[in-house]
Amino acid sequence: MATSCQLTGKRTQSGFNKSHSNRRTKRTFKPNLQTKRVKNPKTGRMVKLTLSTTAIKTLKKWDEAGKIYDLDKLVAQK
């Protein structure tokens, strides 16, 4: 599975695990990515995308508001 969201561009981030004694070890924070089939409202075609859950919530909000957007243009920008 891809390691970045095709819509928002969220990627894996790095940081530290910090123990009780304040020792630090490297770790990664991975975004919650899902493969989703989404209908492009501009063209009416189904598109298969790898999206973060926040991007899925944003698209759902846009659909409820009746916003017309073009997924092909949004994905091409990232």
**DSSP SS3 for 29:** strand
pLDDT tens-place values along the chain, 78 residues long: 578 999 999 999 999 999 999 999 999 999 999 999 999 999 999 999 999 999 999 999 999 999 999 999 888 877
CATH at residue 23: 2.30.170.40
Q: Which pLDDT value is given to residue 77?
A: 78
Which range of residues forms the domain containing residue 19? Answer: 13-77
Q: Which token pair is 10?
A: 């969220």
Q: How many domains does the chain have?
A: 1
Residue 7 in domain? no
Bridge partners (DSSP) listed for residue 48: 37
**Strand, coil or helix: what is 19?**
coil
Asked if 13 and 32 count as a contact pair (C-beta separation under 8 A), the reply is no
- DSSP letters, 43-59, are T--EEEEEEEHHHHHHH
pTM value? 0.83
